[in-house]
Structure 1
Amino acid sequence: MSDPARRLPSIPALQRWWRVHVRRDVDHEAVLAAVRDDAGWNGRYAFMILMSAGIAVLGLLLSSPAVVIGAMLISPLMGPIIGLGFGLATFDWPEIRASFAALILGTVLAIGFTALVVALSPLQNVTDEIAARTRPNLFDLVVALFSALAGGYAVIHGRAGTVVGVAIATALMPPLAVVGFGLATQNWTVFGGALLLFVTNLMTIALSAAMIARVHGFGSHLSPQHTLVQTVLVFGSLGALALPLGVSLRQIAWESLFTRQAREVLTGEFGSDARLSQVDITYAVDRIRIEATVLTPRLNPAAEKHAAAVLRQRTDRPVTVSIDQYRVGTGAEAEAAQIANAAGRLGDRTAERLTEQLALVSGAPREAILIDADQRHAVVRAQPLEGATLSAYRTLETRVAAVVPGWRIELVPPMGALPPVELTDGVPDPNGLALLGWAGARTGVPLTLSGPETAVDAAIRALTRTGVAASAGSVRSGDTLTASWATAAP
């Protein structure tokens, strides 16, 4: 009986197959020409960088993944970064220099523009989308790796396009926009973390693109100006590019190991019948913070203290552990509880984002905002804002409601002077009445209307039908109704 190992193809045989069936079909000169055309700095590249960065930072500020994805569709970053990878593969120093210059200029332009947008924006809170891009992790690295391999393959085989460019921009443009956010808000933790993520992803994509170019036969023989000095410079560039990537990989490997250890320790505190529904780990400078949710048949009051002590011994770093324990059965009951718990966390995040939005637009402290997550209802009493009209407060309420569809938002305006209602042929303006009705409904305070008697009566009837109490004041002639609060604020 023959040995199965002998039937496996040898490495030389695989190399011959690759050269005949893969490399032979690649038009190296045409591919390099196309790469050079897309890799340099020009007006179109600069304009698209600005537009993509602007859309990305707005999506991050609104915590809207859909808007962030929209920015990826127009990002032009694929051209210079693929050019850098192919320049490294072919030892083409002019191509490396041109591509790297385009990347640096585009990076500075994007950071400056996003910082300007954030500085001019009333929204400057660290949203979930921003927080998710403040430190590299293993999955960010894998996304960058797969994006680069797809981009390099698509360019070589003539299938490059918007979809592949989106994949590469996904790993680069959002972190770049977060760098601009950190600069504008002077949040150096966000700035440094996002910059490290951007550089790590950039290096991963460039080196991966160089690797896939090399295996497709792109080498120094394709560089007409290849010299020994250029070889030294290329290897020096590779070393410089690999240094931050190596630092990030080391940190990522340590964090992955610690995460696995943390899950094992937490599980060990409750036994095999328990289930970890959620584990969030924050690697702060001063200590590691762990927040976990456990579904367990048996509660363990000492779990937090004991788990923190075990993890401190393993890492030699301060560790804080916070565990939310929920008593549940096993099997299907635990699975149902895990799903319900996940849905609850989603609702908590929505409520947190809504609280931030209402505090920002109303000027009220967070503790003064009433949130009923079960009924999806929020109420806040706005502080007087200089120059703000009653219409402005109503517009603010509408804008916040648009951020959280499905919620009922009530922004109670301060009880300042009420705007007059214009009369057209003695008939009150419906929009003016609607604004007064909104103010009366939000405050719960009756209104007093003064003006022509017939117009006052018509306005009172219209407001009463909407549930707003109104009464007649003084009768006078004119082409407007005036309104005032009938009682003091409660």
Structure 2
Amino acid sequence: MSVSARRRPSLLAIRRWWRAHVRRDVDHESVLAQVRDDAGWNGRYAFMILMSAGIAVLGLLLSSPAVVIGAMLISPLMGPIIGLGFGLATFDWPEIRASFAALILGTVLAVGFTALVVALSPLQNVTDEIAARTRPNLFDLVVALFSALAGAYAVIHGRAGTVVGVAIATALMPPLAVVGFGLATQNWTVFGGALLLFVTNLMTIALSAAMIARLHGFGSHLSPQHTLVQTVLVFGSLAALALPLGVSLRQIAWESLFTRQAREVLTAEFGADARLSQVDIVYAADRISIDATVLTPKLNPAAEKHAATVLGQRTDRPVTVTIDQYRVGTGAEAEQAQIANAAGRLGDRTAERLIEQLALVSGAPRESILIDAEQRHAVVRAQPLEGATLAAYRTLEARVATIAPGWRVELVPPLTALPGVPLAEGVPDATGLALLAWAGTRTGVPITLSGPQPAVEAAVNTLTGAGVMATAGTVRNGDTLTATWATAAP
């Protein structure tokens, strides 16, 4: 008996088991009804798209993964994508049309809204979170694949919920927000890269969902009567999705292969005792740039030139190689150095990001920003910004601080006019006093308060307790305390 003949009965047994124990337990009509309810365009879907996109783009601008994850919790993208996949599986043209329309409208709405947020934001630089979503790679594709498999399975077996929706949104909403960023800043490299990632992930999710649906018995017999034209359109949609996905897969596979080859070539230049601490590869249209860090017991001055020559023979583009070599011992010592080097790079990137953000929001030159990496302390004296209030400077400081957890960030505001402090039944407003306390501690300049005597005394005591030099000024009646700087700027 041939091998193929022996395999045939086992495959038939698997199919029979699948139909008897998996497909039989699926309520196909109920699942399809639920999918159709969740896949269309409505007011709730539009509102949640706006909220999710807004949170996502703010997280990207602040380079805060936690904020980006928060956007995923409310994203509604799972419904129309799963609907598109099930529509393709069942040849249900009305479902395909409704789901696709919801996706297109949601995409346009998200891109337009995020572009508006970025256009109105003082933060418009490309952060690490944005840069990470400007081109698809193998891991992005795997995330999209697993998200689709989990989403379709959960819908079929009645376990759809927030966690699965987050998995779908993870692959789509951040790239969509980056598309809006690229549009607002007219950075077409970011725009095109993020759009390619979004489309690649969308196609992967839709086709994977269709595959899972077919495996669970969802087919054309479950859809309304469809015409030959509609069937052709469905096959045309499948081809339209599969063709660009195949092109992306080919490019991703080639880059993954070249990355592995680059690591092997670099390792061979230094021997088995060396450690590759970092390998960054940039695939430009006209050149491939490799930036590596190597921990090695023996330095190799010719490594860059030789590695570039070897790798250049494996591609049709010029290859440039830059290697930072650090002499260390072998074994455990090299591993410890690798960990320390990675921690140092993380600290350097955080400090550099802080400098960029502080220079942007303060209007101060980069060289005037004081950074103490050891104490994790950053200080900058802000330039007067037209229309900016004291509260605006405090908000900007808080936003910058979110990109560097564990750091103490201080933005010293200019000595602009201080806001008054409202009185409620003769008691100073706590929020107003907190703002004055922040200004006083940042500038070190004394503050003079004028108004009803009991309120002035209470406010002076509060500010003094917060470490601010505060004095009483003119006593007068009224429902507001007036605050002024007591001296000129030092």
Letter in 2 for 1:363: G
Which amino acid in the other structure matches residue 176 of structure 2?
A: L
The answer to whether the 8 A contact 1:428-1:481 is kept is: no
In the other structure, the counterpart of 1:380 is 380
2:101 counterpart letter in structure 1: A
Separation in structure 1 between the aligned mates of residue 435 and residue 193 of structure 2, nearest angstrom: 46
Residues 107-186 of structure 1 aligned to structure 2 (within 5 Å)? 107-186=107-186
Aligned residue number for residue 22 of structure 2: 22
Q: Following superposition of structure 1 onto structure 2, how do residues 37-48 of structure 1 map, counting pairs within 5 Å? A: 37-48=37-48
| CA-CA distance at 1:103 after TM superposition | 0.9
Q: 2 CA distance for matches of 1:421 and 1:27?
A: 64
32 and 180 in structure 1: CA distance in 2 versus 1, 3 angstrom threshold: same
Contact 1:421/1:482 (<8 A) preserved: no
Query: Partner of 2:316 in structure 1?
Result: 316
How many angstroms apart in 2 are the aligned matches of 1:275 and 1:407?
Answer: 31
Summarize the alignment of residues 233-312 of structure 1 with structure 2, pairs less than 5 Å apart.
233-312=233-312
Q: Determine helix, strand or coil for the equivalent of 2:330.
A: coil
Show the 5 A alignment for 1:9-88: 10-88=10-88
What displacement does 1:396 show?
Answer: 3.6
Q: Which moved more, 1:333-342 or 1:315-324?
A: 315-324
- Do the aligned residues in 1 keep the contact of 2:60 with 2:130 (CA within 8 Å)? yes
| TM-score, reference length from structure 1 | 0.86
Q: Contact between 1:417 and 1:484, CA under 8 Å: does it hold in 2? A: no
Code of the residue aligned with 1:28 in structure 2: it is: H
Moved more, 403-412 or 332-341: 403-412
Secondary structure in structure 2 of the residue aligned to 1:133: coil
Q: 1:94 to 1:295 in 2, by over 3 A?
A: same
- Whole-Å separation in 2 of the counterparts to 1:82 and 1:349: 39
Which deviates further from its counterpart, 95-104 or 280-289? Answer: 280-289
- The alpha-carbon deviation at position 372 of structure 1 amounts to 1.9
Q: Answer whether contact 1:84 1:100 (CA < 8 A) is retained.
A: yes
Superposed displacement of residue 204, structure 1: 0.6
In the TM superposition, residue 441 of structure 1 has moved relative to its aligned partner by 6.3
Pairwise CA distance, 1:7: 9.7
Q: Partner letter of residue 161 of structure 1? A: G
Aligned residue identity for 1:100: F
CA distance in 2, matches of 1:38, 1:422: 49
Against the structure 1 CA distance between its residues 478 and 176, is the aligned structure 2 distance closer, same or farther, given a 3 Å change threshold?
A: same
Amino acid at match of 1:198: F
Give 1:235's aligned amino acid: F
Provide the residue aligned with 2:208 in structure 1: 208
Gaps of 5+ in 2: none
Task: Give per-residue Cα distances to partners, 1:116-169, cap 9 Å, x unaligned.
Answer: 111122221211111111110001111111111111111112222221111111
Paired residue type of 1:359: A
Q: Distance in 2 between matches of 1:81 and 1:335?
A: 44
Q: Distance in 1 between matches of 2:254 and 2:332?
A: 35
TM-score of the pair, normalised by structure 2:
0.86
C-alpha displacement at 1:184, in angstroms?
1.1
Gaps of 5+ in 1: none
How far is the alpha carbon of 1:387 from its aligned partner?
A: 3.5
Compared with structure 1, are the counterparts of its residues 461 and 321 closer, same or farther at alpha carbon in structure 2 (3 Å cutoff)? same
Q: CA deviation at 1:29?
A: 1.7
What's the offset of the Cα at 1:352? 2.1
Which residue is 1:363 aligned to?
363
Cα separation, 1, equivalents of 2:7 and 2:240: 43
String of CA shifts for 1:254-308, please: whole Å, max 9, x gaps: 1111101111111111111101111111112332221211111112222222222
Write the letter of the residue equivalent to 1:23.
Answer: R
Q: How many residues of Structure 1 are paired with residues of Structure 2 in the alignment?
A: 480
Q: Residue type matched to 1:343 in 2?
A: A
Q: Which shows bigger deviation, 12-21 or 133-142?
A: 12-21
Distance across 2 between alignment mates of 1:85 and 1:461? 66
Percent identity, please.
86
The CA RMSD over aligned residues, in Å, is 3.5
Structure 1, residues 153-198: CA drift from partner, whole Å, max 9, x if none? 1111222222111111111111111111111111111111111111
AA aligned to 2:283 is Y
Tell me how far 1:379 sits from its aligned partner.
2.1
Q: Which range moves more in the overlay, 246-255 or 154-163?
A: 154-163
Hey, what's the Cα distance between the residues in 1 that align with 2:290 and 2:222? 52
